Amino acid sequence: MFKKVLVAEDLDSISIAVIQVLEDLKIPTIHHVKYCDDGLLRIKKALVENAPYDLVISDLSFKSDHRKTVLSSGEDLIEAINAVQPSLKKIVFSIEDKSYRIKSLFNDLNINAYVSKGRNSINELRKAIEGTFKGEEKILSSDLSFSFNDKTLIEIESYDISILKLLAQGYILENIASEFKSSSITPNGTSSIEKRINKLKIYFKANNNVHLIAIAKDFGLV
Amino acid sequence: MFKKVLVAEDLDSISIAVIQVLEDLKIPTIHHVKYCDDGLLRIKKALVENAPYDLVISDLSFKSDHRKTVLSSGEDLIEAINAVQPSLKKIVFSIEDKSYRIKSLFNDLNINAYVSKGRNSINELRKAIEGTFKGEEKILSSDLSFSFNDKTLIEIESYDISILKLLAQGYILENIASEFKSSSITPNGTSSIEKRINKLKIYFKANNNVHLIAIAKDFGLV
DNA sequence: TTTGTATTTACGGGTTTCCGTAAGGAAATG
DNA sequence: CATTTCCTTACGGAAACCCGTAAATACAAA
């Protein structure tokens, strides 16, 4: 079984249960951080001390408080981890249940398992830890109904998300175009962006931009 | 200390920690339900058996799944409780940190304490339980920064919410006006509605309608 | 009733979205 | 090299918005 595990979870009420599972599994070294920044620090430190972690269990959303942070979400943390220790096994334990977001965790961030916080999630978490140790891939807790084959939301790509994000921040077409130009995201003509928004509106059956953003918010896309 | 406590919380990862607190406090009878409906049932049963609960600790949001439910949220549950056993002490333990929603819990649903799930919430929960037992009123976990006096969001009324809801559904000004006319909501001239939207934009510092709805979604207003 | 005030509605022009059409350019095919 | 196809960009008119001002209405006080 795993020898050294890091838990990144801000809610104490949840971390207690997660740590209990790890103790039940006789993991010798269990560390727990409440902020993403601390998590990355620990992992880097373990690397230089030649005693790296072999599993990380992370939440996705972290409450923001008085403390200034660089990494503000589980996604940020995992991305940072992938830069320093890509071989580290990663399990995400979160309330999120939108298929699009979970798929991108597997595809873009290369996580090993996703467990959705729910009515029977502690069992699921234990199974995911054991499965990850055995080398199983793309483990998904059983209460998640979607499959990796369904095409829903798969064709929404990061380009679309960028547009939606800027729209949600009050940008007008022209601003989005110049923003894209300065970030060298392409295509960046107002017309192309307009067309892409139009596709999104058709896809989500939205009457107008306002409607579109409301739907995007509901889907957790922005 | 309390003798009989009911915990309504769907996430097993959290209920474990809550129950642990109650056990530490030597509560003799602790019951736990994962659905609001079950919670109400238990409370009614305890009443007819002449062994009523003296405290309920409830979450606000419950995941929906295959099971059909009558009560779908903590608010629903507490409202139902107030109908059958208004004297029952009520503590809400939730991730919600929007001041106007919490205020309405105290003012409309008459709860005794609110504890926000956070990095040190188990301690806060314990203090809230003890405080409630001693008869303290309107207990608020200390990480919540707002006070009951600040006017923020208090002046947003149901009329504004109606407008925001319709905007989020893709209605244009004209549609909103006629919708209001047929529901005899007044004022219902396009111009008046426009002006009201403008006030909201100033209030929330939104650049345009799209931005406004994005913000409203973030605040949980729609 | 009259006056004053505040709220609601109407109006207008400038901006942005909305939506169709078409021009320009790059890559692929033959 | 010519043609096709796809993608990006440009353009233009109608609809909806944004925002200020002015007229109409409602309502309370004198």
pLDDT number for residue A195: 93
Q: How do the domains of chain B map onto residue ranges?
A: 4-140, 158-218
Closest-CA distance of chain A to residue B113, Å: 17
| Chain B window 162-201, residues with Cβ within 7 A of nucleic strand C | 186-192, 194-195
Closest-CA distance of chain A to residue B222, Å: 9
Quick one: average pLDDT of A124-138?
A: 94
Out of B11, B117, B169, whose CB is closest to A118? Answer: B11
Is residue A117 less than 8 Å (CB to CB) from chain B? yes
Sign of CA dihedral A71, A77, A81, A83: negative
Least confident stretch, B43-52, B93-102, B142-151: B142-151
Quick one: average pLDDT of A73-79?
A: 96
Number of CB pairs, chain A paired with chain B, less than 8 A apart? 121
Is residue A143 less than 8 Å (CB to CB) from chain B? yes
For residues A99 and A153, the answer to whether their CB atoms sit within 8 Å is: yes
Nucleotides of D under 7 A from a protein CB: 7-11, 16-21
What CATH architecture applies to the domain B4-140? 3-Layer(aba) Sandwich (3.40)
pTM, 2 dp: 0.78
Helices and strands, counts by H and E, chain A: 9, 6
> Which residues, in sequence order, are bridge partners of residue B29?
B4
Looking at CATH, the fold of the domain delimited by B158-218 is given as Arc Repressor Mutant, subunit A (1.10.10)
Q: How far is the CA of B103 from the C1' of C5 (A)?
A: 35
Q: How far is the CA of A102 from the C1' of D15 (A)?
A: 39
Q: Can the peptide bond before residue B187 be classed as cis, meaning omega within 30 degrees of 0? A: yes
pLDDT number for residue B148: 64
Out of A10, A119, A206, whose CB is closest to B12? Answer: A119
Higher pLDDT residue, A37 or B146? Answer: A37
Of A34-48, B101-115, B144-158, B159-173, highest mean pLDDT: A34-48
Quick one: average pLDDT of A34-42?
A: 97
For residues A96 and A121, the answer to whether their CB atoms sit within 8 Å is: no
Tell me whether residues B65 and A210 touch, CB distance under 8 A. no
